Structure 1
Amino acid sequence: MGFVRKLKKEGLNEMEISRICVDLVIAAGDTTSVTKQWMLYLLCKNPHVLDEYRSVLDDKEEEQKFSRGIVKETLRMYPIAALASRIFPNDCELGGYLIPATEFTPNDLTSNLEHLYYISYY
């Protein structure tokens, strides 16, 4: 286990390492669960999308593509880390604004719901 070895090298004791590992497992389970709940909510609110998804289940490639789209749209609308921020590796223009490379750009929940900048599948 490379992760645990690294923590030991950093001087953490077994209790601290155990707590970190438990936190990671619980956090992963919680975020996955919450994402699935929002995804099911959105599919139930938009039965035409659910019907379209059902229609592609026989085609593995289309099913995977559609599934990724559903998950991405769910996370866009209901992000797990609503206040996560980004640092752009390169200069980027968004909505007519220049964002310089390495610029810290905060994100909030409301920006993910701005329908002027996203194609809504729902």
Structure 2
Amino acid sequence: MNMKRCLSACILLMLSLEGALLVAGRPSAASAAATTIRLPSDTQAAEPARPWDCCDFALCTLSLPQYCRCLDQVDHCAATCKDCAASPMDPSRHVCQDMYMGFPGPRCTDDGNNVGN
């Protein structure tokens, strides 16, 4: 008997909360989720372009969101890289000095070592 009374009270409470939200002019979370469709392209459009096309040796922070730098030594930096500097180990090669907030991106080679992934 106690179980039925508790169940009835819980159902009435949930219905009254839904009604209060409706009167306040806010749809419930269930109906809002049913009417809003998010496409993957919605989130990708707001993301800035990575300063590099691919990265084998990424150095990322452990924070959320993570910040990454690509330590790959390349012949020429990507066009999206704003701060391209000569490599300290080989001055004929270049390293992009830009920091990127988010996932460092795909690997350039199969045996790449993306740190933090």
Instruction: Note whether the superposition's TM-score is higher than 0.5.
Output: no
Structure (1 or 2) with the larger CA radius of gyration: 2
- Please, what TM-score do these two structures have when normalized by structure 1? 0.23
Please state which structure has a larger fraction of its residues in helix.
Answer: 1
Relative contact order, higher structure (CA 8 A, sep 6+) = 2
TM-score of the superposed pair, with normalisation by structure 2: 0.24
